[in-house]
Structure formats: C-alpha cells, structure tokens
Amino acid sequence: MSIRESCRIPTCRGSRAVVVRAGDMTEYQIDNLGQAAEAIRQVTADGQRLELCGAGTKRHLGRIASYDHLLDAGGMSGIIDYQPEELVLTLRAGTPMNVVEDALAGARQMLAFEPPSMTRILGEAQAGVRGTIGGLIATNISGPRRLTAGAARDYLLGFEAVSGRAEPFKAGGKVMKNVTGYDLSKLMCGSFGTLGVMDEITIKTLPAPETSCSLLVGADDFAGAVALIARVFASPHEPGASAILPAAIAAEEGVDSGSPFTAVIRLEGIEASVRDRLGHLQEMTGGDALAEAASVSLWQRIRDVQPLAEKPLDIWKVSCAPADAAKLLDSLDPRLNIRMIADWAGGLLWIASSKAQLGPALRKAVQELDSGFAMLFRDVGVTREKIEPLQPLSGGMYELHKRVKASFDPLGVLNYERMHQGI
Amino acid sequence: MLMPEPDQGVIDRRDEICRTLRQLVPADCVIDSRESMRAYDADGLSAYRQLPLAVVLPETVEQIAAVMKWCHQQGIKIVPRGAGTSLSGGALPLADAVLLGLGKFNRILEIDYDNRCVVAQPGVTNLAITKAVEADGFYYAPDPSSQIACSVGGNVAENSGGVHCLKYGLTTNNLLGIELVTIEGEILRLGGKHLDAGDYDLMGVMTGSEGLLGVVSEVTLRILQKPATARALLVGFEDTGDAGTAVGDIIAAGIIPAGMEMMDGLAIQAAEDFANAGYPREASALLIIELDGPEVEVDALIERVEAIVRKAGASSVRVSQSEEERNLFWAGRKSAFPAVGRISPDYLCMDGTIPRRRLPDMMRRMASLSQQYGLRVANVFHAGDGNLHPLILFDANQPGELERAEEFGADILRSCVEMGGVLTGEHGVGVEKRDLMTIQFTEDDLKQQQRLKCAFDPGHLLNPGKMFPQLHRCAELGRLHVHKGKLPHPDLPRF
C-alpha cells in the first residue's frame, strides 16, 4: 500500500507523532495540535506542502493537487463532553461519524443539518471506514434538512486549531449565543482544510424528531413541482424538507406518483402534529402519504444521492434559487442525457451524466442566473483535469480569498490548491 | 476609554476633505457643521461621545464605493453606522474619521415569495422586513428588542439575536446573501438566493464583524411562514436552582420552545410594580416559556412542559388562554429594563453567556459579589441559551459607586468566562468590552483575528479602536451605563 492510500485511523499512539516514511514522502500521524504544529514547522522549513486528511473519505472532492507529505489527523478522535440538555457537543475533529451518531442517538438528538454519508458516491474509501466530523465540517456538506434547519456552518460553535503558521488559536465558544470576536467558525466550515488543522470542536445539537412521514404529489413538469412546493412552504404546516424526483427515479424508489415528476415533502415532529399537518397538506395538494419507515429510507437515499450512485457517471452539485431551477434544467442540451434529483425545494440539483460537456453547460447556465454555483462532486474519469471542480472565483473575490488564505497560511502549507488555484 | 490617537494631519485637512466628499456624493449628503453632527456623536452606548470628522450619507452603492475608495487612497478612517442603536459603541465616531451613515439606504428592493426571501437595503429597519411580508403570512425571524429602530445592516454587523433565537437562530442563520463594499471601494456579492457555494464563507465572517471588515450595502434575508399559533406559560419557582433544572429538563425532553426567559426576585418585583402583568411576587425565579407552531402541537407541548415544570418544583403555573394574556406575560419581561431604572438612579446592563447548567453557580456568585460590593443586582436571562443580562443598581451621585459597579460588572464577565462562557452573547464587543477580550482570548487567538482583519483592511482604516484591545488598556470594563433610568434611546424597548 502506498502512503497516498494509507490515510487511516490509527489505533495506538505514543506522546510523539508517529512518522512513517516511504520514499521522499512522510506521513505524520498526529494526535494533538502540538504535533500538528511540529509537522507544519518541519515541512515549512523544507519549503514543502502537506495534505491534511482525516479518514480520507472526501479526498476526491476538490482539485487534484500534489503534496509532499501527509498529515493524518484521524488520531485526534473522541468525544470530550456531551451535554444533551445544553444542546452542546464538544469532540475532537477526527472522531468518526458513527461514533458521533451513536452518542447523539443515545440522547435522542441529532445534527440538524442531516450530514450525508457520501462514501458510496465518492468511493475508494476503505471498507467500513466512516468519514470524520472534521472532514464533514471542512467540506460543509449538509443534507435535506439544510433547507429549513441550516448547514453544517450553522452548527459549529467554536474550535481549537493550528494555523499554517504553526500557531495554535481558538475562536467561538462552547455556548450557543456568542458574538465575541470574528466568527471564524463559519470560515473553517467549507474551507477544505486550507486554513488550519482543527482538534477540539464544539457543535450545537438538537432533539431528533419523534416521528416523520412524507407526502408524495405528482407534477406535470419540474417548474410545476417547484411551484407546488412553494405553495406548501407558504402554508403554516411546517414542511421540513422537500425533494423532486423525475418519474423514472421515483419508480425505481417505489414512490411513483404517475406524473412526470413527484414532489416529496417531509413532515417531522410529534405524532399529533405530523398527523394533523399531513391531513391539511393532503387536502391542499391531493397527495399520497408515505409512512414513517418508507419515508426515512427514501430520505436517506436522497440525502446520500443514492439514486445517482449506481451508474458510473460524473455527478455535479448545483445550488441555485429554487425558482431558477427549471430554467437551468431547460437550458441543458437533451443530448447530455442527464440523470437528476432535486432537493431543497429545487434549490439543490444533483445532476449526473457520462458526457464531458455537462460541466461547461452547467457553468454557463449558472452564469446566466443572478446567483448559483456548480461543483463537480464525483469524477469517474478525468473531468477534473479539464474543468475546475469548484466554481471559479471572480477577480475581486479571488484576491480577497487569497488574502484570507494568507492570513492563516501565508506559505500555502495546508491543502494548497485543494479548492482554487493559488489558494 | 482610550481611543486611537487622532491623526492631526487629517483633522487639519477637514475643509478640503469635505470639499472632495461633496464631489463624490450630492452636496447635501455631507454634514460637517458641529450642530448637525451632534446627532451622530454616539450610538446606544451614550456614555461615550465624539464628533466625527464629517458625516457622509451616500444614496447609492456607487457613492459608498467612491467614498471608500477615496478615503482608502488618502488614508482616512471610516466608521460605518446603521441606525446607531448599538449597545457596545460599535458606531462611536472618531475625531479623524468619516462617519459613513447608511440611513438613506431605506428601501426594500424585492419581496420574493417563490424563493422565500427579501432583498433590502441595509438601512431598512428590522421590523420593516416583517411588516412588508406579514400580510402574506410571512415574517423575518431575528427580533432584537430594538427592532423598531435597528437596521438590518446593523443586524449583520452585530449578528443580532432576539428572544426567539433559541429556536430560529441569529442573523447569521437567517442571512442568505450580502453585497459588500470593501475598503478599496470594490463591490462584491457574497451568497445570494442559492444556499451552498464552494468558496470561503466570507458572509459568515462579515456577520458580527462590527463594521471592521467592510460596509454592507444590500442584504438578502430568509423569511419564514408565521407559525399558526403561539402560547406561553408563566411559571414561578421558590428556588432559582429549580428553575434552572426545569429549563434543562424541557430541552432534554426534546422540546425547543420559541422563547424561554428567566427573571430573578428583584427583577420580578420591579417588573410587576411597573407593568402589573400578574407575576407571582413571592417567587424567587420566574420563567416565561413560549411555544409556537401548529395548534395541536402547541397544545400537546404545553401539557408536556407544564408536567415538567411541576415536577421540577414550580410554585405557580399559568398558561395563556388568549393572545391578550400571552402578551401580558411578556409585558413584564419586556419592561424589565425601564422597571429597574425606576427603582435605582443608575444601573449597568451586562451581557454575557454561560453554559446553562452553571446558572445556579452564577446566581450564588452574583449574590456573594452583590454583598461584597454592597450593590443590588437584578437578573433577566435568555434562559434557553444561557445569555445573561445582570442589571447592577447604583447611584452615580454617591462617590465611588460607579467604580464599584464597574468592578462588579467586570467580575461577572470574568465569572462568565471562568464558567466556560463568553464575554458577550448579543451586544457585541465594540469599545465597551474591547479591553476585556484578553480574558477570553490568548494573544495568539487575537493575533489570528487581527490577521483576518488585515486581509480585508490592511491599513486599519475601517472602524479602528473597536473590538481589539489597545496596547495601553484602561481599567474601564464592559457595561452599558444607564443614568436615571434613561436609556440612550428611551423610546426603544430593550430586553
């Protein structure tokens, strides 16, 4: 096994970082920030760069970049303090998600942003290895409830890290309401490990819903499905998530409404409330109910983009204003032969195709909207060599990003160019 | 409070600077007479006053950009200002800085029900957003107590909350996009009507940055469907610890109330004298717990909450049976600040957060500090999220009392940090808590924050003297000074 494939969760460590050498490449297996700082200093002294890695399940997100050495942060693992009645969980960034989920389930709580498990569509992770909470935060990936409950970035309350300057720093806190200093937690979310190596993080938790179910409503076209969902969201019946499935996928998932598109609307809460709201919405839309077990399983598959995972296709993640989604889809050449599901009331499109022209077409379509972005999420071939996986930044934004990166990591030691060229 | 030494060279150029500003914006958008500038010499932290170099009130984003670009080239400082309601001195002018007022940016640009958002200029008041959409059943969730006057741009700068943020989040959780003017005068758009993007979350960093990183010239806000109904419980406890336990038990039972407020004995007495809300005078702690949502849900949860608070040892429980009664429950809480102003010539309002389970410890600490300093303290809390507002009662006419009150306040904030909490839950750092930052943060922590500042504003021209401690720290500590019950904006609710 080459060192590039070995990013794993080590089992046993001493007080010093384990250093594994293979040829010119060194793997630093750290279990505290002091060791992270030491590794950064060593690598910086040689004018080289580090790839920062947890469980390695999201290494295929972002740009192809080459690194001189590997910083394996998966050893900084474990729950430090969990106070369910405070809605606060403090843990180490390398903690695997199954450990996090087990702890939360024990207190009937959840991460409200509904983190997906992307190992299946991203592939190439070792069997049985779950991603880490740190990796999830670093990529700011959220699931269906993002629409109403916010993203990963809305739940990180504070953290401790080492910057690319090998200096320790902390920001935020361990309480829910805090405006002391800049909100650097937001910046760490979705920064792909380019700003710092996190150890201790504090996350806001919420009670898990007691029950849930879904409503299935047919629509003649995509725009009609989006409009229907907008009407549901303009009612006081508190929908929590809503997806749109084309007929073929709806049929595969066993929720075919008989129309070209099926809107799936999820209701969560206490039993009496869910039943009451479902009744009102059925009256309003004429839709069919999907009972709890089937609903949970369907939403898990939507969350993890499973309907697009089976076939070896590139998968793009597109986010736009929900009301713009139909226009964006219409602008795509039918010859792209896309396979698609929509989430977030139409504001999130997962689009798969075997055609290399998909990326440029999506970038052009997004460009024509007031706001939106397109990201290559799964690359089954060599697409990343031809197109930037993340939406390129405009001039002023690019310069500001460069300066922000430099304020944490002036020499570009950490995950350099993982997101954008020169950053 | 020591502010940065004014640049005499800039002050000497005042006439020339005003002439140029009048070329960059319409002439009547520059205010430079001492009399007219008086209206801008302070914000809600009115213990500190300073006339600015000049006041500029641009009318277009291009004018903001032109002013900032020119000031940047000339090395002239800028203090941005929304409605001037900050309680921490975030908009305190500087003698050598242009005060950039966003008051003319007062239009709602778009109401977009299809995408459930509102696009507005930054000078629009918080409440005006809700007013614009409420006829269609929508509202804007963050509701700071000053919402009739505070601007949404200021809300972004301070990351404002409100009594409902336990369930609905702060400004940062309800903001979809901003237009930002950088110190170089560049106009950038961060976020928008889409939800995710693949860049650094600069909008997240801008939120709560207190005007130190850039000027917000437009906001896109998420609006929500108004809950079908809301009901509240008014719960008295003989023991403050039991009240704290009840709050934890409610959340542990999986219930997130729309609001959960606590008052201590002195605050209950003062509020009841003032508002006649029917509060239990014999109680040493009072909880107001509000639940909102579909009617069947609210009714079911009210029952559950009632059982929990009774089990926790409540001495009295009332459930609102009408909107009128619910509003009455809130009337006492919302008048707590003016009510305390009536029983004491002066008070300092503090703002810190602690982990909620430390509340009994904090109450004991405050009682012992109260004895030590010989000053009374009344407490109102946003109990759901551990945000404290102790009101320290004193008489500024008694020699030494102000100083004792300030020391008392500083000890409370130190205790907040010692107990695992933070210096400010919602009022911001500003100039008020600037010199306390070292209690919570190490030098390395602050250095990293200041480096980020440099990425946005290398010349330190935007709102200098705020948030970060100076080399020469003065002993004044975090507080809001209220004299004779007169808040800086006496007409504004503060709770």
Beta carbons of A276 and B297 less than 8 Å apart: yes
Shortest distance between the Cα of B187 and any Cα of chain A, in A, equals 8
DSSP for A336-390 reads G--EEEEEGGGTEEEEEES-TTHHHHHHHHHHTSSSEEEEEEE-SSSGGGTS-SS
Shortest distance between the Cα of A24 and any Cα of chain B, in A, equals 32
Decide: B89 and B432 in contact? Cβ < 8 Å. yes
Decide: B478 and B350 in contact? Cβ < 8 Å. yes
Shortest distance between the Cα of A368 and any Cα of chain B, in A, equals 14
- Read off φ and ψ for residue B6, nearest 5 degrees: -65, 145
Report how far residue B314's alpha carbon sits from residue B234's, in angstroms, rounded to the nearest whole number.
Answer: 10
- Could you say which of A170, A319, A323 has the minimum Cβ distance to residue B115? A323
H helices present in A240-355, as ranges? 247-252, 271-285, 292-303, 325-330
Beta carbons of B208 and A370 less than 8 Å apart: no
pLDDT in tens, A99-149: 999 999 999 999 999 999 987 777 655 667 789 999 999 999 999 999 999
Whether the per-residue pLDDT at A8 is higher than 50: the answer is no
Beta carbons of A177 and B448 less than 8 Å apart: no
Please indicate, yes or no, whether residues B234 and B266 belong to a single structural domain of this protein.
Answer: yes
Q: Which chain B residues are Cβ-neighbours of A223 within 8 angstroms?
A: none
- CA neighbor of A247 nearest in space, from A223, A267, A263: A263
- Could you say which of A206, A319, A408 has the minimum Cβ distance to residue B196? A319
Beta carbons of B205 and A182 less than 8 Å apart: yes
pTM value is: 0.94
In a domain, B38, yes or no: yes
Total domain count, chain B:
4
Residue B220: burial class (beta carbons within 10 Å; 0-12, 13-18, 19+)? buried
pLDDT in tens, A336-364: 999 999 999 999 999 999 999 999 999 99
Average of per-residue pLDDT values in chain A: 93
Q: Which chain B residues are Cβ-neighbours of A207 within 8 angstroms?
A: 251, 254-256
Collapsing DSSP states into helix, strand and coil, what is residue B94? coil
Beta carbons of B429 and A184 less than 8 Å apart: no
In a domain, B3, yes or no: no
- The average pLDDT across A389-416 equals 96
Structure tokens at A65: 């970049």
Shortest distance between the Cα of A2 and any Cα of chain B, in A, equals 30
Report how far residue B402's alpha carbon sits from residue A9's, in angstroms, rounded to the nearest whole number.
Answer: 57
In a domain, B249, yes or no: yes
pLDDT in tens, A43-63: 999 999 999 999 988 988 999
Domains of chain A: 1-208+392-423 (3.30.465.10), 211-304 (3.30.70.3450), 307-385 (3.30.70)
pLDDT in tens, A68-101: 999 999 999 999 999 999 999 999 999 999 999 9
Whether the per-residue pLDDT at A282 is higher than 60: the answer is yes
- Could you say which of A206, A236, A277 has the minimum Cβ distance to residue B226? A236
Beta carbons of B297 and A272 less than 8 Å apart: yes
- Could you say which of B186, B293, B467 has the minimum Cβ distance to residue A273? B293
In a domain, B368, yes or no: yes
Q: Give chain A's radius of gyration (CA, Å).
A: 22
Report how far residue A388's alpha carbon sits from residue A16's, in angstroms, rounded to the nearest whole number.
Answer: 38
Please indicate, yes or no, whether residues B354 and B408 belong to a single structural domain of this protein.
Answer: yes
Report how far residue A38's alpha carbon sits from residue A65's, in angstroms, rounded to the nearest whole number.
Answer: 23
Q: Which chain A residues are Cβ-neighbours of B429 within 8 angstroms?
A: 179-181
Structure tokens at A5: 């494939």
Decide: B147 and B83 in contact? Cβ < 8 Å. no
pLDDT score for A142: 97
Mutation target vs B (from A80, A167, A176; most B CBs, 10 A cutoff)? A176
* Residues facing residue A83 across a β-bridge: A88
- Could you say which of A146, A177, A348 has the minimum Cβ distance to residue B385? A177
Please indicate, yes or no, whether residues B240 and B257 belong to a single structural domain of this protein.
Answer: yes
Sign of the torsion angle spanned by Cα atoms A238, B250, B158, B190:
negative
In a domain, B116, yes or no: yes
Please indicate, yes or no, whether residues B204 and B234 belong to a single structural domain of this protein.
Answer: no
pLDDT in tens, A178-203: 999 999 999 999 999 999 999 999 99
Beta carbons of A234 and B113 less than 8 Å apart: yes
Beta carbons of B169 and A150 less than 8 Å apart: yes
**What ipTM was predicted for this assembly?**
0.95
User: Where in the sequence is the domain holding B74, given as residue range(s)?
Assistant: 8-101
Within 13 A of A79's CA, how many CA atoms are on the CB side? 16
- Could you say which of B136, B170, B198 has the minimum Cβ distance to residue A390? B198
Please indicate, yes or no, whether residues B217 and B278 belong to a single structural domain of this protein.
Answer: no
Report how far residue B397's alpha carbon sits from residue B368's, in angstroms, rounded to the nearest whole number.
Answer: 24
- Read off φ and ψ for residue B437, nearest 5 degrees: -55, -30
> What share of chain A has pLDDT > 70, as a percent?
95
Mark which of B195, B225, B255 sits at the end of a domain: B225
Report how far residue B398's alpha carbon sits from residue B403's, in angstroms, rounded to the nearest whole number.
Answer: 10
pLDDT score for B414: 94
pLDDT score for B48: 87
Mutation target vs B (from A118, A162, A175; most B CBs, 10 A cutoff)? A175
Length of chain B counted residue by residue: 495
A·B CB contacts under 8 A: 279
pLDDT score for B471: 41
Mark which of B48, B79, B101 sits at the end of a domain: B101
Q: Which chain B residues are Cβ-neighbours of A404 within 8 angstroms?
A: 200, 202, 452, 455
H helices present in B277-374, as ranges? 295-311, 323-334, 336-343, 359-373
Please indicate, yes or no, whether residues B235 and B166 belong to a single structural domain of this protein.
Answer: no
User: Residue B51: how many CB atoms within 10 A of its CB?
Assistant: 16
Beta carbons of B425 and A237 less than 8 Å apart: no
pLDDT score for B322: 97
Shortest distance between the Cα of A228 and any Cα of chain B, in A, equals 10
Decide: A7 and A72 in contact? Cβ < 8 Å. yes
Beta carbons of A179 and B208 less than 8 Å apart: yes
User: Residue B215: how many CB atoms within 10 A of its CB?
Assistant: 29
* Residues facing residue A378 across a β-bridge: A315
Decide: B110 and B118 in contact? Cβ < 8 Å. yes
Shortest distance between the Cα of B246 and any Cα of chain A, in A, equals 10
Name the residue in chain A with its Cα closest to that of B246. Answer: A85
User: Residue B43: how many CB atoms within 10 A of its CB?
Assistant: 27
Report how far residue A214's alpha carbon sits from residue A217's, in angstroms, rounded to the nearest whole number.
Answer: 10
Name the residue in chain B with its Cα closest to that of A161. Answer: B445
pLDDT score for A324: 97
In a domain, B235, yes or no: yes
Mark which of B189, B209, B225 sits at the end of a domain: B225
- Could you say which of A180, A272, A391 has the minimum Cβ distance to residue B440? A180
Q: Could you tell me which residues come within 8 angstroms of residue B51 by beta carbon, excluding any fewer than 6 positions away? A: B34, B37, B38, B41, B93, B95
Report how far residue A356's alpha carbon sits from residue A10's, in angstroms, rounded to the nearest whole number.
Answer: 38
pLDDT score for A120: 73
- Could you say which of B195, B354, B420 has the minimum Cβ distance to residue A319? B195
CATH number of B130's domain: 3.30.465.10
Q: Which chain B residues are Cβ-neighbours of A173 within 8 angstroms?
A: 353, 421-422, 440
Report how far residue B23's alpha carbon sits from residue B30's, in angstroms, rounded to the nearest whole number.
Answer: 10
In a domain, B2, yes or no: no
* Residues facing residue A53 across a β-bridge: A72
CATH number of B236's domain: 3.30.70.2190
Beta carbons of B202 and A154 less than 8 Å apart: no
Q: Give chain B's radius of gyration (CA, Å).
A: 23
Report how far residue A359's alpha carbon sits from residue A355's, in angstroms, rounded to the nearest whole number.
Answer: 9
- Percent helix, strand, coil in chain B, to 5, is 40, 20, 40
Please indicate, yes or no, whether residues B328 and B362 belong to a single structural domain of this protein.
Answer: no
H helices present in A48-112, as ranges? 97-106
pLDDT score for A4: 39
Please indicate, yes or no, whether residues B215 and B149 belong to a single structural domain of this protein.
Answer: yes
- pLDDT confidence tier of residue A10, bands split at 50, 70 and 90: very low
Beta carbons of B197 and A373 less than 8 Å apart: yes
Burial readout B92-130 (b: 16 or more C-beta within 10 A, e: otherwise): bbbbbbbbbbbbebeebeeeebbbbbbbbbbbbbbbbbb
Whether the per-residue pLDDT at A225 is higher than 90: the answer is yes
pLDDT, tens digit only, all 495 positions of chain B: 678 899 999 999 999 999 999 999 999 999 999 999 999 999 988 878 999 999 999 999 999 999 999 999 999 999 999 999 999 999 999 999 999 999 999 999 999 999 999 999 999 999 999 999 999 999 999 999 899 999 999 999 999 998 899 999 999 999 999 999 999 999 999 999 999 988 999 999 999 999 999 999 999 999 999 999 999 999 999 999 999 999 999 999 999 999 999 999 999 999 999 999 999 999 999 999 999 999 999 999 999 999 999 999 999 999 999 999 999 999 999 898 889 989 999 998 999 999 999 998 999 999 999 999 999 999 999 999 999 999 999 999 999 998 899 899 989 999 999 999 999 999 999 998 998 999 999 999 999 999 999 999 999 999 999 999 864 332 332 344 455 555 556 666 666
Decide: A187 and B203 in contact? Cβ < 8 Å. no
In a domain, B14, yes or no: yes
Instruction: State the distance between the two ends of chain B, measured CA to CA, in whole angstroms.
Output: 26
Report how far residue A130's alpha carbon sits from residue A4's, in angstroms, rounded to the nearest whole number.
Answer: 18
Shortest distance between the Cα of B459 and any Cα of chain A, in A, equals 14
For residue A346, how far is the Cα from the chain centroid? 17
